[in-house]
Amino acid sequence: MTKVERSSTAEAVLGILDLNGGMSGYEVRKFMEESTANFWSESFGQIYPTLKKLLDDGLIKTEETDGGGHPAKKKYRVTDAGAARLQEWLTIPARARVPRNEFLLKLFFGGLAQPKEMRAQVEAWKTVAETDLLRDEPLLKELQMKFGKGPGRPIDYPPLPYWLMTLRYGIAEAKMTVKWCNETLAELKKLDDDYVKRGV
Amino acid sequence: MTKVERSSTAEAVLGILDLNGGMSGYEVRKFMEESTANFWSESFGQIYPTLKKLLDDGLIKTEETDGGGHPAKKKYRVTDAGAARLQEWLTIPARARVPRNEFLLKLFFGGLAQPKEMRAQVEAWKTVAETDLLRDEPLLKELQMKFGKGPGRPIDYPPLPYWLMTLRYGIAEAKMTVKWCNETLAELKKLDDDYVKRGV
DNA sequence: ACACACATGTAATTGGTTACATGATTTC
DNA sequence: GAAATCATGTAACCAATTACATGTGTGT
């Protein structure tokens, strides 16, 4: 009867557009990959239809292209109605959906495989977290430098404090994951030893 | 051209059935809610069609119902082919998909709202993590007691070590979240003070 | 008598990725 | 002149939730 279960794709696009003034669909995606990749991403197959819908609903408007350049590059900007919609959405409590984690599912069934298989899975997972850290920790420092309260503070980008919060979340998560992986690998080693002992 | 992107619903059901012998669709779901709820869950709308497909593919077989009792209660058990399929799947490295986190998305756009709105969001998020801890920490202790190496070790449930690993992951994640929420709330408070000061 | 947990299944709808289709500009 | 990146869009397909439909057993 009632709709329920709406996704937040429209708001994600609207928000990026609001933060960064006039952007094309391509640029929205690129910005997401550089900033929200740890917790939100959209494919072009979602972005372009979403832009069309936002336009139809009057939440964004087109801007003139810069004439020369790439084919049919369209730029969008949020309208007052769009900004209002966004602000309203920000006050609604976020829904907590359990994300599916295929790695943890495999580990849960680990007793059905040989311990060394699971060690390989955990090692791979650890590598992913370490790679994230290698990208996010330098990024945090870079952004903090731009923002820094110190004397040479070059630019003032208001959304930055919030960007940093989400970035710190990603870093804390990755660190926690690496730590847990190490503990889990030690335990798997023990199980493996027991397994071999029993096997022989 | 190629299929790609398969989901792991079939393997999740197959794995639960393998761990716990004969189970009905309803029991599979119940077990998931008690054990994998932090990282995997399936709706009945997925489970029943999946069981049918696994049966068609010869990966599970039906067991006799216990006659009396509930209407048409069917029990399933994995076949040798099913166990082989599951073991093969366990050796394939888990795909790392970025889960969407609506809460972090809202926080990322926090500069577009009033600081106190975002504080409410973070408080709510913290409560979710605390609730998880309240459920998972006692569960961990309970399971460890059953498993315990000590003298009175009551039962030997082989998959338990792996269950504990995933449970410890959930606990570590929730603790990390609570800690991050506290730090973030402190920073939002500062931003809020600045906001009020500038506003007046 | 009513509610709640048990129990199975299908249909409608929504959400999302990947593949396809096309073409310009820049860089090596 | 080849490859990578920029750029927009549609179609096919897959995955998943929610709502619907139906009925039994148990506890209060």
Enumerate residues 59 to 78 of chain A having a beta carbon within 8 A of any beta carbon in chain B: none
Residue B43 CA distance to nucleotide C4 C1' (Å): 20
CA distances from B50 to A149, B2, B56 (A): 56, 22, 10
Check whether domain A9-110 has CATH 1.10.150.120, yes or no: no
Which of A36, A101, A107 minimises the CB distance to B162? A107
- pLDDT level of residue B146 (50, 70, 90 thresholds): confident
What's the pLDDT tens digit per position in A41-66? 999 999 999 999 999 999 999 986 65
Q: Which residues contact residue B75 at a Cβ distance below 8 angstroms, ignoring those fewer than 6 apart? A: B22, B23, B24, B62, B63, B64, B65
Position B197 scores a pLDDT of 72
Q: Which residues contact residue A21 at a Cβ distance below 8 angstroms, ignoring those fewer than 6 apart? A: A77
Q: By C-alpha distance, which of A108, A125, A119, A101 is closest to B162?
A: A108
Q: Which residues contact residue B96 at a Cβ distance below 8 angstroms, ignoring those fewer than 6 apart? A: A103, A125, A128
Q: Mutate which of A34, A36, A165 to test chain B, going by most B C-beta atoms within 10 A? A: A165
Position B82 scores a pLDDT of 97
- Amino acid identity for residue B144 in this structure: Q
Report which listed range, A94-103, A170-179, B188-197, is most confident: A170-179
- B2: Cβ under 7 Å from strand D? no
- A62: Cβ under 7 Å from strand D? no
Q: For residue A71, what is the DSSP state?
A: T
What's the pLDDT tens digit per position in B47-100? 999 999 999 999 999 986 655 555 668 899 999 999 999 999 999 999 988 899
